[in-house]
């Protein structure tokens, strides 16, 4: 698409929106400005291409399309069939998967589809039938225990939240923690790395139905061949959530033992993050689970979103191009350069570095909580998110860590030299931020002090750093 065509498309769209609700048009324009000016280091965010963005704003949004390709509960879905089939085809080819299901609206939805696909062969129990007529939120812990027992006391073993796992891998506040009796495996306290022998020991003791691999804040490669062997040894289904690193798999940065698709029975992912597509989810699986996975709607999902599936097809087609593999390699190069820059300046990193797209800073070395560090960096034009570190004394709300990632800045074209400059800006802010106190004089986990002048200076430096790598250079809304 030419630059003039991109500008015309988005400018015209905003004019149409402005005629109905100008405040929405203003907010859309302001979001583009904010993203252009902010140093985006949130590991789970990226920038979708103009083609992907435009694929979501069309008449597919008006369609109901429950069911799957060729088997819809609504008539008139022939064009939805086309884009869903294209998205699934691109996904299979890109990842070397036997089957792809592209309907999930998010990563959580994709995980729920996977969980229920694994459970689908279980006989529906009287307790489950009774529960279906009640609101899920009304079920007590005893109710959930009874349901799990009726379903065979299903168990899940996944990475602990503070070690880098995800809420949907069986943690009690999430629906996955209600569906399964869950136990976690952590990391070695000395190295922060997965101890596969301990995972095997936990699996032998716990005997899970599902062993979950994958992470949202683990900065190293995972050996999926070993995890599959552990799953097989106890008769578990091996599921991998690759939402964070799907782009590195697609770009063939993670191959062999570190590519989950050949080893897992079922793989879930988001389509944004490092894959650089629209916000949404996807499930890849072995043939024996395909029929159950395709029942995701209506088993778990409501009507699929055809306009988002169209955008998934576009983004997955983009990821099959040769330049995407170069992009994926540069993500890792940049993450490692960012980690090295932080280490040289004295920062403490979980595992001492990174093999993938993310870096986890233990900010307790700066005398801060994750919440204090997150806000101080945001004041300075650097967008990050707080995150737990292993054995985190501050819990999941305040945390002791900051998670940063390089997919978005790599999309903008920044390289390793700019990563060192970024490390300097982060280190400057964190060293100049001090923890605050509550009104009674006790230490606060949220309040902090940072010279506004310094914050403004760093924000200007961040803007200057980004100026040489403009975001969406082909789009001019003026």
Q: How far apart are CA 251 and CA 329, in angstroms?
A: 7
Q: Which of 168, 187, 269, 270 is catalytic?
A: 270
Q: How far apart are CA 248 and CA 214, in angstroms?
A: 13
Q: Within the chain, how many helices (H) and strands (E) appear?
A: 20, 16
Residue 273 catalytic? yes
Q: Which of 273, 371, 386, 403 is catalytic?
A: 273
Close Cβ partners of 337 (under 8 Å, ≥ 6 residues apart): 416, 419, 420
Q: Name the residue with tokens 């932080």.
A: 342
Residue 399 region by backbone torsions, left for phi larger than 0, else alpha for psi between -120 and 50, else beta: left
- What six digits make up the tokens of 25? 């048009």
Residue 270 catalytic? yes
Q: Which of 64, 89, 183, 463 is catalytic?
A: 64
Q: Which of 36, 155, 228, 279 is catalytic?
A: 279
Q: Side-chain half-sphere of 61: how many Cα atoms within 13 Å?
A: 6
The number of beta carbons lying within 10 Å of the beta carbon of residue 196 is 15
CB 182 within 8 A of CB 176: yes
Q: How far apart are CA 161 and CA 215, in angstroms?
A: 9
Q: How far apart are CA 397 and CA 367, in angstroms?
A: 17
- What six digits make up the tokens of 449? 């002090």
CB 92 within 8 A of CB 99: yes
Q: How far apart are CA 324 and CA 228, in angstroms?
A: 28
CB 372 within 8 A of CB 447: yes
Residue 108 region by backbone torsions, left for phi larger than 0, else alpha for psi between -120 and 50, else beta: alpha
Residue 241 catalytic? yes
Q: Nearest CA to 168 among 92, 81, 240?
A: 240
Q: Which of 37, 45, 66, 195 is catalytic?
A: 66
Residue 66 catalytic? yes
Q: Side-chain half-sphere of 110: how many Cα atoms within 13 Å?
A: 26
Residue 326 catalytic? no
Residue 348 catalytic? no
Q: Which of 6, 150, 241, 392 is catalytic?
A: 241
Enumerate the active-site residues.
64, 66, 241, 270, 273, 279
């Amino acid at each position: 698409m030419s630059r003039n065509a991109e500008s015309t498309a988005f400018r015209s769209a905003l004019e149409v929106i402005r005629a109905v609700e100008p405040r929405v048009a203003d907010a859309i324009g302001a979001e583009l400005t904010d993203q252009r000016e902010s140093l985006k280091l949130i590991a789970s965010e990226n920038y979708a291409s103009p083609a992907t963005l435009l694929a979501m704003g069309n008449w597919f949004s008006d369609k109901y399309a429950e069911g799957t390709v060729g088997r819809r509960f609504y008539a008139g879905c022939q064009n939805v069939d086309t884009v869903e089939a294209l998205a699934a085809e691109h996904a299979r080819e890109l990842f070397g998967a036997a089957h792809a299901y592209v309907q999930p609206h998010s990563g959580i939805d994709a995980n729920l589809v996977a969980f229920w696909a694994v459970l689908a062969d279980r006989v529906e129990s009287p307790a489950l039938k009774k529960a279906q007529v009640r609101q899920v939120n009304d079920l007590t812990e005893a109710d959930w225990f009874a349901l799990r027992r009726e379903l065979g006391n299903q168990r899940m073993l996944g990475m602990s939240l503070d070690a880098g796992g995800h809420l949907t891998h069986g943690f009690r506040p999430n629906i996955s923690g209600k569906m399964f009796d869950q136990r976690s495996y952590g990391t070695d306290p000395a190295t922060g790395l997965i101890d596969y022998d301990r995972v095997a020991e936990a699996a032998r003791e716990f005997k899970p139905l599902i062993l979950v691999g994958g992470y949202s804040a683990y900065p190293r490669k995972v050996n999926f061949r070993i995890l599959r062997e552990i799953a097989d040894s106890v008769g578990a289904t091996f599921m991998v959530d690759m939402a964070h690193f799907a782009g590195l798999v697609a770009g063939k940065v993670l191959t062999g033992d570190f590519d989950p698709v050949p080893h897992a029975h079922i793989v879930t992912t988001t389509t944004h993050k490092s894959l650089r597509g629209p916000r949404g989810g996807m499930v890849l699986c072995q043939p024996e689970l395909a029929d159950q996975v395709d029942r995701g709607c209506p088993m778990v999902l409501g009507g699929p979103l055809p306009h988002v599936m169209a955008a998934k097809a576009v983004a997955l087609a983009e990821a099959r191009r040769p330049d995407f593999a170069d992009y994926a390699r540069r993500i890792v190069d940049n993450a490692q350069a960012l980690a090295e820059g932080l280490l040289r300046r004295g920062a403490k990193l979980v595992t001492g570095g990174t093999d993938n797209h993310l870096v986890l800073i233990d900010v307790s070395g700066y005398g801060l909580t994750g919440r204090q560090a997150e806000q101080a960096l945001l004041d300075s034009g650097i967008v990050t998110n707080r995150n737990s570190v292993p054995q985190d004394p501050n819990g999941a709300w305040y945390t002791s860590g900051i998670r940063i990632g390089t997919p978005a800045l790599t999309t903008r074209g920044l390289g390793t030299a700019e990563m060192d400059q970024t490390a300097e800006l982060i280190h400057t802010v964190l060293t100049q931020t001090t923890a605050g106190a509550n009104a009674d004089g006790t230490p606060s986990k949220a309040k902090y002090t940072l010279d506004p002048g310094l914050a403004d200076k760093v924000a200007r430096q961040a803007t200057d750093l980004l100026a040489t790598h403009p975001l969406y250079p082909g789009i001019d809304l003026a």
